[in-house]
């Protein structure tokens, strides 16, 4: 039963990743027009331009999402520290808790995509950053928040009392959702940046839950 559920999670992750790839290809090729700063080209220009004109810029939402971004990084560091402590004290990689081990692999994958899309610009931001164009697709803040906060639910569930988990789960989901909403309303991303960030992060989060179960099955006595 667990194996079938795990295969479904891998299938969901694969389907979402494929959808992200197809969407990214569309963003790079459909309705590309020079509507960005310094006449930079933007895919789905008509829809993105209309949404930008509708939303504008909101510095309050921008600063709020920056704070939430720091929170996501702190959560990553907390679980990284737990993993390092377990590795040092237990003196064997296979003795590290399976969900923490999977989290390490997952974080490495998230960082890979983060660096990849910072280096390879699909779209540039609708605003200049320190007078320069900056890659904006997919929304890295949205991706990081969704990946980190939704993946945190499993290791927290194994470490916290069951009675507090509904509140903890709600907080994790709220932080992820508010980050996505805030990046959308702040005006520092095109609408398609947010969609791409959510698609990729959902694919990666499904992959984490599949990996965690796979590691548990492989490492259990």
Cα distances (angstroms) measured from residue 38 to each of 25, 42, 47, 100: 23, 11, 19, 44
Q: What does pLDDT average to over the chain?
A: 91
Cβ(217)–Cβ(159) under 8 Å?
no
Which pLDDT band, with edges at 50, 70 and 90, does 219 fall under?
low
Token code pair at residue 37: 């700063």
Nearest to 47 by CA among 198, 203, 195: 195
pLDDT in tens, 68-115: 999 999 999 999 999 999 999 988 888 888 889 999 999 999 999 999
Which residue did the predictor score with more confidence, 56 or 24?
A: 24
Residue 2, pLDDT score: 59
Token code pair at residue 33: 């027009």
Q: Any idea what the Cα angle at residue 182 is, between residues 113 and 24, rounded to 5°?
A: 35
In this structure, the chain runs to a length of 221
Segment 132-140 mean pLDDT: 90
CA distance 196 to 180: 11
Cβ(197)–Cβ(23) under 8 Å?
no
Q: Phi and psi at residue 72, in whole multiples of 5°?
A: -60, -40
Segment 10-36 mean pLDDT: 94
CA 36 from chain centre, in angstroms, equals: 24
Nearest to 212 by CA among 81, 204, 14, 85: 204
Which pLDDT band, with edges at 50, 70 and 90, does 35 fall under?
very high
Beta bridge partners of 109: none
pLDDT in tens, 138-185: 999 999 999 999 999 999 998 999 999 999 999 999 999 999 999 999
Domain boundaries, the chain: 2-219
**pTM (predicted TM-score):** 0.89
């Amino acid at each position: 039963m667990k194996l079938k559920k795990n295969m479904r999670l891998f299938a969901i992750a694969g389907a979402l990743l494929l959808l992200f790839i197809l969407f990214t290809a569309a963003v790079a090729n459909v309705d590309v027009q020079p509507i960005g700063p310094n006449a930079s080209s933007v895919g789905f220009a008509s829809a993105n331009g209309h949404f930008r004109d509708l939303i504008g810029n909101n510095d309050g939402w921008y600063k709020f999402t920056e704070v939430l971004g720091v929170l996501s990084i702190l959560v990553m560091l907390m679980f990284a520290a737990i993993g390092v402590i377990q590795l040092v004290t237990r003196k064997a990689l296979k003795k590290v808790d399976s969900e923490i081990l999977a989290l390490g692999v997952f974080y490495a994958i998230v960082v890979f995509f983060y660096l990849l899309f910072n280096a390879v610009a699909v779209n540039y931001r609708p605003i200049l950053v320190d007078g320069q164009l900056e890659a904006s697709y997919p929304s890295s803040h949205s991706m990081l928040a969704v990946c980190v906060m939704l993946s945190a639910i499993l290791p927290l569930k194994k470490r916290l009392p069951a009675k507090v988990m509904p509140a903890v789960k709600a907080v994790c989901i709220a932080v992820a959702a508010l980050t996505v909403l805030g990046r959308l309303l702040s005006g520092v991303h095109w609408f398609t940046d947010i969609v791409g960030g959510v698609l990729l992060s959902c694919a990666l989060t499904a992959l984490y839950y599949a990996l965690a179960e796979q590691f548990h099955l492989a490492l259990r006595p």
